[in-house]
Structure 1
Amino acid sequence: MSGSPLRRLALSTLLPAFHGHQPPAWALRLVEEGLGGYTLFGYNIRDAAQVSALTATLRAVRPDVVIATDEEGGDVTRLHYADGSPYPGNAALGVVDDVALTESVYRAIGVRLAAVGITLDMAPAVDVNSADDNPAIGTRSFGADPARVAAHGAAAVAGLQSAGVAACAKHFPGHGATVTDSHLDLPLVEAPLATLRERELPPFAAAIAAGARSVMTAHIRVPELTGAEPATFSRRTLRDLLRDELGFTGAVVSDALEMRGASGAIGIPEAAVRALAAGNDLLCFGGELAKSPDAEAVVEKTVAAIIAAVVDGRLTEDDLAASAARNAMLGAPAAPVPVGGYDDALGLVAARRAVRVEGPLPAGLAGAVVVQLMPPATAAVGEVPWGLAPVLPGVHPVADTAVVADLVSLAGDRPLVVASRDTHRHPWARALVESLAAAHPGVVLVEMGWPAAWRPAGAGYVATFGAAPVNARAAAEILHLC
């Protein structure tokens, strides 16, 4: 069945990845045989000219191939993986609460993506971040208020799609109430359907009303809705709720099936079959698999599993054909790509408006000692440069609490500025800041993650609502460090 119509249909539902700056021969062959498309990650991207050449190579094989990436702005960036995003992320845009600004930022992101041939952006995240300890969403969210998230999610969709790039509202039915990362396990949301309808669903309804061409599923379990399975495998979630109740007619895109929340116990091929049966159209594989020599083999095993599922009656050719048609629409521009570029200053302007200062700050900050704590990055963010270190010389990296006395001695009579992100989620980082504040009178915490309820007693507090270079520059200006 290597060249059969059924194989072509099975391939059309898959969105894997490959490693490197140009597609290998097997990746091009699969596009020719009908593969839905590819997701580009940081390891695929060197600069704009190289990405343009890569996408042109893929499109020369088949013009409607989907070329996707995760470009959320702020902490999650692929196009700017080497240097950090020039735009603040959703939390910063949400706290500014100017929907016109959000639309402009996302239009600028879309223009950059369209210029290098990317047709689908896995953004915006429209999760309502109702859990301060959420390790997966945090600053990727526009906030904790459903109405605000809905307004900005709709603006983000409009901005992206005005630039000719399909938007993907994620992570349905809402990942914001979780305290587990679905890359590592299957998160549980113990909430009644009434709560979901009031809290999680309004942003998705707004994104759909704004014309979002795709919606991404979440690998989360909501017992009242999904039973024992993740939402990605739930017909009730994807067909009854998303399509029938919310009226979504575009492509349903799965979150990465290599994540443990989806395939940890069953493997990617079986996860793919269950996801298609539930109502997904396009199946992401994720970025880690592409680094493995098994990447092509897993695609082939998944194709074989889908074909077998059709033969066994678990899937139908008609459903695969409908998915193939919806997916093909994501390989074409959502609108004519606009003429003109983007405002290079827009990101910094937005980041400046987002900075919030609580309480008095010590004098003499221009001469402060600056340190940066190094909590681990989440899987979604990856190893993107972040914080004050990329924008200021002489920043001291700190990875444990053993250096408190040394830092106090180093600062002497000068203020001590501590940059960190999600400090409240990392006991060692929280303890270090509290110890510094107790031992030194001029400590300022620059919180570059989600600003939870915790505050370090005796320290100044500056919240940037994101850790991108523009967030760091805005904070450095406020503190007179540059």
Structure 2
Amino acid sequence: MGQDPGLRRLALGTLLAAYPGPVPPDWAVDLLAEGLAGHTLFGTNIHDPAQVAATTAALRAGRPDAIIAIDEEGGDVTRLAHATGSPYPGNAALGAVDDLPLTRQVYAAIGAELAALGITLDLAPTVDVNTADENPVIGTRSFGADPARVAAHSAAAVTGLQSSGVAGCAKHFPGHGATVADSHYELPTIDAPPAVLRERDLPPFAAVIDAGVRAIMTAHIRVPALTGDAPATFSRPVLVDLLRGEYGFTGTVITDALEMKGAALAAGGVGPAAVRALAAGADLLCIGAKVDADLVETVVEEVVGALGDGRLDRSRVEEAAGRAAELAAWTGAAGTPAATPDGLGYAAALRAVRVEGDITGLTAPLVVQVHAASTIAEGRVPWGLGPHLVGAEEVRAVAGETDPDELRGRAGDRPIVLVGRHLHRLPGARELVEALAAAHPVTVVEMGWPAAWRPVGARAFVTTYGASHANGRAAAQVLGLAG
């Protein structure tokens, strides 16, 4: 390729790649031997625990200190349990329970599971303060809308996770909770002055830094007062002046996936995005999920080229690779995970369920699950009450396309339990629920982010604060529908 081997290895040392399928291809292992910092595992890489353990061992054959990362947030974002749903509630449920030792214990359990499989970096917890009910990408991934509560639980989560020897990565700096757009598809804007960010969005990051979090992930969001027209991922005032200078963070700054439109479109491609992120102060560049050998080589060539033409200082890239190496060394430290109590996640999810109204008399109801699309962060993970129901018929419905009279006819004398996610912002959902409730006993189960909306005429409104397997079982149990 005509590259300086030293510069190539230096560039590789700042990259977190990925690969398709359950078995690491040769190129993915070979690149680790050549200096690649590590790989992120996604649902497509995961079949079962034995296979994951074999995968991490195969990757370590490339280099023993390779970083092996995963998005295992619990709740609605799970990779290990993508086929069934997580056995743990997510952050919104833990924030609703508001028991800091419980949050610490749940994250310690997640960390212990990851450590046992050879995974060294969890791209969690999400510490964004979800102040926008319409937020399409954070929602139940957040501990809540109150900065103080989110800060306390974020610190507890980091402490629990890292007690297992798995590094935590708090995200998404400087705060993705006030957005009403998804940075996977576009560049969201938060038009707020720095003083508002310091009061609303930044306290959880201060808390996790105090708790010793090893890594912090950047947000592909535009904050004009700090970043101008660029995303925070490309902003030196955010990553250096604010995060390192003002908040004193000394760990590894990891980018959110550079393939996301919030970064790639803003830079003109993944390669230029990598150069801009490094120049701004990022250390470890998450390329994304859809990665092959050619894309990695494209990014490496762009970084090496930028070192040659002056867009990047060698000292900056050496600093970045050094911080990535420090993270790899820390994650190699042996943890001493505590034993996880049986049923921890389900007991926690049960404590999070909130009931408004009357849920008596729900014998053998018609359960209607309203279709809701998943975000890219969540992926297609099963959700709902279905796996837990005993003695109830379940049907699927699409809001805006379903005739409420048809559902009432199918229910007959039976009550209806309508299950949804983010019903307040799902087109046609409010109208469907209220049309049903006007002439039929209806109980609503909200498994997404709870808003202020409550349906007129409904007998009860049940909030689970998430749609994990644990949340679904807890809701079925509270309603008396579980076995």
**TM over 0.5, yes or no?**
yes
Superposed CA deviations along residues 31-73 of structure 1, whole A, max 9, x for unmatched, are 1110011000001001111101100111122111110000000
Where does residue 470 of structure 1 map in the other structure? 470
Secondary structure in structure 2 of the residue aligned to 1:39:
strand
| 1:3/1:33 contact within 8 Å kept | no
Partner Cα separation in structure 2 for residue 157 and residue 278 of structure 1: 26
Query: Per-residue deviation at 1:276?
Result: 0.5
| 1:239/1:279 contact within 8 Å kept | yes
Partner AA of 1:338 in structure 2 = T
Partner Cα separation in structure 1 for residue 100 and residue 337 of structure 2: 23
Superposed CA deviations along residues 373-427 of structure 1, whole A, max 9, x for unmatched, are 1111111101011111233264211124323111111112221001100111112
| 1:365/1:480 contact within 8 Å kept | yes
Where does residue 123 of structure 1 map in the other structure? 124
| 2:126/2:142 contact within 8 Å kept | yes
Out of 311, 319, 338, the position equivalent to 2:336 is 338
- 1:384 aligned to 2:381? yes
Where does residue 448 of structure 1 map in the other structure? 447
Secondary structure in structure 2 of the residue aligned to 1:396:
strand
Partner Cα separation in structure 1 for residue 379 and residue 387 of structure 2: 16
Query: Per-residue deviation at 1:223?
Result: 0.5
Secondary structure in structure 2 of the residue aligned to 1:408:
helix
| 1:119/1:330 contact within 8 Å kept | no
Partner AA of 1:480 in structure 2 = G
Secondary structure in structure 1 of the residue aligned to 2:377:
coil
Partner Cα separation in structure 1 for residue 152 and residue 160 of structure 2: 12
| 1:64/1:329 contact within 8 Å kept | no
| 2:346/2:474 contact within 8 Å kept | yes
- 1:211 aligned to 2:208? no
Partner Cα separation in structure 1 for residue 207 and residue 452 of structure 2: 28
Query: Per-residue deviation at 1:340?
Result: 5.6
Change (3 A) 1:2 1:62: farther
Where does residue 274 of structure 1 map in the other structure? 276
Partner Cα separation in structure 2 for residue 10 and residue 333 of structure 1: 21
Query: Per-residue deviation at 1:29?
Result: 1.2
Alignment size in residue pairs: 475
Partner Cα separation in structure 1 for residue 145 and residue 474 of structure 2: 23
Q: Map 1:2-401 onto structure 2 (within 5 A).
A: 2=3, 4-265=5-266, 266-287=268-289, 289-290=290-291, 295-334=292-331, 335-338=333-336, 341-361=339-359, 363-392=360-389, 394-400=393-399, 401=401
TM-score, structure 1 as length reference: 0.96
Superposed CA deviations along residues 197-252 of structure 1, whole A, max 9, x for unmatched, are 00000000000000000000000001001111000000000000000100000000
Query: Per-residue deviation at 1:329?
Result: 2.7
Query: Per-residue deviation at 1:11?
Result: 0.6
Partner Cα separation in structure 2 for residue 307 and residue 469 of structure 1: 45
Query: Per-residue deviation at 1:367?
Result: 1.5
Partner Cα separation in structure 1 for residue 265 and residue 293 of structure 2: 19
Partner Cα separation in structure 1 for residue 421 and residue 31 of structure 2: 41
Partner Cα separation in structure 2 for residue 358 and residue 285 of structure 1: 44
TM-score, structure 2 as length reference: 0.96
Where does residue 417 of structure 1 map in the other structure? 417
| 1:373/1:419 contact within 8 Å kept | yes
Structure 1, unmatched stretches of 5+, are none
| 2:163/2:337 contact within 8 Å kept | no
Partner Cα separation in structure 2 for residue 285 and residue 439 of structure 1: 52
Partner Cα separation in structure 2 for residue 223 and residue 177 of structure 1: 14
Partner Cα separation in structure 2 for residue 45 and residue 139 of structure 1: 24
| 2:112/2:337 contact within 8 Å kept | no
Partner Cα separation in structure 1 for residue 383 and residue 403 of structure 2: 22
Query: Per-residue deviation at 1:366?
Result: 2.5
| 1:375/1:429 contact within 8 Å kept | no
Runs of 4+ in structure 1 displaced over 3 angstroms? 332-335
Change (3 A) 1:339 1:161: closer
Partner Cα separation in structure 1 for residue 102 and residue 341 of structure 2: 12
Partner Cα separation in structure 2 for residue 73 and residue 332 of structure 1: 25
Query: Per-residue deviation at 1:16?
Result: 1.5
Partner AA of 1:385 in structure 2 = P
Using the TM superposition, name which of 324-333 and 115-124 deviates more.
Answer: 324-333
| 2:188/2:221 contact within 8 Å kept | yes
